[in-house]
Amino acid sequence: MALFTVGINTALRASDILSLKKSDLRGNELYIRERKTRKLRRIVINEPTLKTIHAYLATRGDSMEWLFVGQRGKMTHGYFGKMVRGWFDAAGIDARNVACHSLRKTFVRLNHTEFNVKLTTLMYALNHGSERQTLQYCGLLADDVNKVYQNAL
């Protein structure tokens, strides 16, 4: 639950989520250097996500520094992907085209459609170079075009 919650509430790439250490969490903020861009990021964690992280950490009986661990230590990307597909399957969503990155895309799509967050803001949250990239990323452009064809003129 904590892994899913962090994934959809931080917009971090899977490689960044899996490289998180307990020490990266300071109060209600995560500090991380992104692997892809090498940029240093500070992410403010919302209260429900913070509670979920603390509840998860309270159940762990190990002293590992990694925030998320598998059975043999640091969680692997493959295991994370298997978990994500399982979550989507359990929710009744076809998981054939689902991957770890789907959590990041979910963050974008829900913030834009449900909370009316501007694409410019999401662009900065994702470290994208343009609004167009962010729009394509969340799949809204294709949906909007399909809606246009449904209009009866």
Residue 153 has pLDDT above 90, yes or no: no
Q: Is 79 exposed, middle or buried (0-12, 13-18, 19+ CB in 10 A)?
A: middle
Q: What's phi and psi for 28, nearest 5 deg?
A: -105, 25
The answer to whether 138 and 105 have CB atoms below 8 angstroms apart is yes
Superfamily of domain 2-150: Intergrase catalytic core (1.10.443.10)
Please write the tens of the pLDDT for every residue from 87-120: 999 999 998 889 998 999 889 889 988 998 988 8
User: Quick one: which of 13, 3, 6 has its CA closest to 33?
Assistant: 13
pLDDT value, residue 2: 93
Q: Does 59 or 135 have the greater pLDDT score?
A: 59
Q: Quickly tell me which residue has 């790439």 as its tokens.
A: 13
pTM of the model: 0.85
The answer to whether 122 and 106 have CB atoms below 8 angstroms apart is no
Task: Read off the pLDDT band of 43 (50, 70, 90).
Answer: very high
